[in-house]
Amino acid sequence: MDYTNLMNDKSGKKSKVGIIGATRGYGYTLLAQIPKVERMELRVICSRHPEECLAVLKEIGYNEEKIVYCENREAIAKTDDRAILIVSDYRLVMECGITALVECTGNTAVSSDAALMALKRGINVYMVSKETDSVCGAFLNRTAAENGAVYALVNGDQPRNLLDLYSWGKILGLEIVAAGKSSEYDFVWDRETGRLTYTDGSKEEKEMPEMLECWQYEGRETLERRAGLLKDYAEVISADLCEMNLVSNVTGLVPASPFLSYPVAKTSELADIFIPEEDGGILKETGVVDVFYNLREKGEASFCGGEFIIIKCENEKMWDILKSKGHVMSRSGKYACIYYPYHYMGLETPVSILLGDFMGIGTHPECRQVSILAGVAQRDISKGTVLTVSGHHHSIDGLVPELLKREYADKAAPFYLLNGAELLRDVKKGEAVTLEDVDLSGLAAYEYYKQGLEL
């Protein structure tokens, strides 16, 4: 994408941004970047803790004299249109004269309601809450189209970055075999000491000199040996599967397997791994989404939770030339890996907002519920248990996420509609929580999900 037209815009127009869920994590990184963006202004932020909003804005360097807390519409109406507003009720954000709503709460009920309110008023919506898009994305895309608004996932998070890479490949006519990302944290091995670190923040090191024996990739048996060494770290991460759910629903690519593959792999090996089994890889079918754990040596650059596509190399001479440039190719020469080793969270997100607000770019009206994120019981769970989404990865205690092709989902309940749901019967270990196991009838987001299934 060439951003020259955006940079040369002489209209004087600016994106006026409202952020819901603004003070931590993703929202914080976006707040920190907005003052650097010439064609963008922060108009309003919303949090249940307005005092935190004020503290964060002051910390970043926003002018405290321009910040106004508003409790209602009347207070908003009295403010200068250059003021930065703080509200605690998300429904007030739409009353502040914004052109762009950025939703960061991760709360499906709140974000779906806020997005719908904005879109019906012609306000563009930039969805950071992947949990909501996994359930309501198809419905919200249609609503945007019906109201002449933009509904978009955002750069800075893996789904939009991967969709951009995928669309780049498609417009070039490349045959895409697989698309995916690395998981959030790396396995870092120190060849000199034999110690391995998992970069999840624990800073714990483990003596693992035997990694040397499977350091060089020799085929699927190498992956099996690595998986055995690292079995204590292996897990299926809700956020990973949710992000691949979003990509699946836009592209039509299907899950490589219900729990995704998670091979422990170096970047240089990806074109040998995410390829069909008959060519020595792990895929039972092509046209899939998948995830890997990045393995790297100490001092080597990280994949940074970045994104990749695997493509077929159809002109041997052309790919001989490209291979000489150092591109990642399979040993057979039949496949190549193209990748973005980054996702910069809110630092990148202004690009998505400007593309939407100025050029109408970002909607995916073709979005359909291609795959469904379900929850499978890790243990027997008793009737009456209230399921709760919590933690860094927005997981549910007792459930492991499972990403299913829609035709195999049967009556599985969407994972992120289960927050706060009470089980109506016992669920045995290994069973998916179904729509018959919980009462979702009072949830507006469930109605949006059902409408999306009809598209």
Domain of residue 78, CATH code: 3.40.50.720
Answer yes or no: is pLDDT of 8 > 90.
no
CA of residue 392 relative to chain centroid, distance:
14
Answer yes or no: is pLDDT of 253 > 70.
yes
Please return the burial class of 146, using the count of CB atoms within 10 Å of its CB with bins 0-12, 13-18 and 19+.
Answer: exposed
Percent of the chain with pLDDT over 70: 100
Reported as a single tens digit per residue, the pLDDT across 142-151 is: 999 999 999 9
Answer yes or no: is pLDDT of 22 > 90.
no
Q: Round to whole Å and give the CA distance between 420 and 424.
A: 13
- Which pLDDT score is estimated for 203? 67
Reported as a single tens digit per residue, the pLDDT across 285-296 is: 999 999 999 999
Question: Quick check: is 102 in a domain?
Answer: yes
User: CA separation (Å) from 295 to 184, 199, 232, 269, 301?
Assistant: 12, 11, 15, 10, 10
**Positive or negative, the Cα torsion across 75, 52, 28, 415?**
negative
In a shared domain, residues 110 and 227: no
Answer yes or no: is pLDDT of 202 > 80.
no
In a shared domain, residues 83 and 200: no
pTM of this prediction exceeds 0.85: yes
In a shared domain, residues 187 and 147: no
How does residue 365 score in pLDDT terms, banded at 50, 70 and 90? confident
Domain termination residue (choose one: 330, 359, 388) = 359
Percent of the chain with pLDDT over 90: 91
- Which pLDDT score is estimated for 262? 98
> Taking residues 133-137, what's their average pLDDT?
97
Question: Quick check: is 114 in a domain?
Answer: yes
Answer yes or no: is pLDDT of 1 > 80.
no
Q: How many secondary structure helices (H) and strands (E) does the chain include?
A: 13, 21
Per DSSP, the three-state class of 127 is: strand
In a shared domain, residues 227 and 266: yes
How does residue 23 score in pLDDT terms, banded at 50, 70 and 90? confident
Q: Round to whole Å and give the CA distance between 193 and 26.
A: 36
**Beta pairing class for 307-312 and 335-340:** antiparallel
Phi, psi of 17, deg, nearest 5? -100, 135
- Residue 439: CB atoms within 10 Å: 13
In a shared domain, residues 108 and 202: no
Question: Quick check: is 365 in a domain?
Answer: no
Question: Quick check: is 227 in a domain?
Answer: yes
Q: Give me the DSSP letters along 378-399.
A: SS-B-TTPBP-EETTTTEETTE
Q: For the chain, how many structural domains are there in total?
A: 3
Question: Does residue 205 or residue 144 have the better pLDDT?
Answer: 144
- Which pLDDT score is estimated for 389? 94
In a shared domain, residues 129 and 169: no
Question: Quick check: is 364 in a domain?
Answer: no
Question: Quick check: is 366 in a domain?
Answer: no
- Which pLDDT score is estimated for 399? 97
In a shared domain, residues 214 and 249: yes
How does residue 204 score in pLDDT terms, banded at 50, 70 and 90? confident
Answer yes or no: is pLDDT of 155 > 80.
yes
Q: Which among 98, 117, 79 has a CA at the least distance from the CA of 14?
A: 98
Reported as a single tens digit per residue, the pLDDT across 344-361 is: 999 999 999 999 999 999
> Taking residues 206-230, what's their average pLDDT?
97
In a shared domain, residues 146 and 199: no
> Taking residues 242-266, what's their average pLDDT?
98
In a shared domain, residues 325 and 208: yes
Question: Quick check: is 300 in a domain?
Answer: yes
Answer yes or no: is pLDDT of 120 > 90.
yes
In a shared domain, residues 393 and 329: no
In a shared domain, residues 123 and 180: no
Single-letter amino acid code for the residue at 402: E
Question: Quick check: is 310 in a domain?
Answer: yes
CATH of the domain at 398: 3.90.1210.10
- Which pLDDT score is estimated for 352? 97
**Positive or negative, the Cα torsion across 122, 125, 131, 137?**
positive
Mean per-residue pLDDT over the chain, rounded: 96
In a shared domain, residues 187 and 123: no
- Which pLDDT score is estimated for 366? 87
Instruction: Give the range of the structural domain holding residue 26, as residue numbers without chain letter.
Output: 4-156+346-359
Answer yes or no: is pLDDT of 438 > 80.
yes
Q: Round to whole Å and give the CA distance between 53 and 46.
A: 8
Per DSSP, the three-state class of 58 is: helix
> Taking residues 255-284, what's their average pLDDT?
98
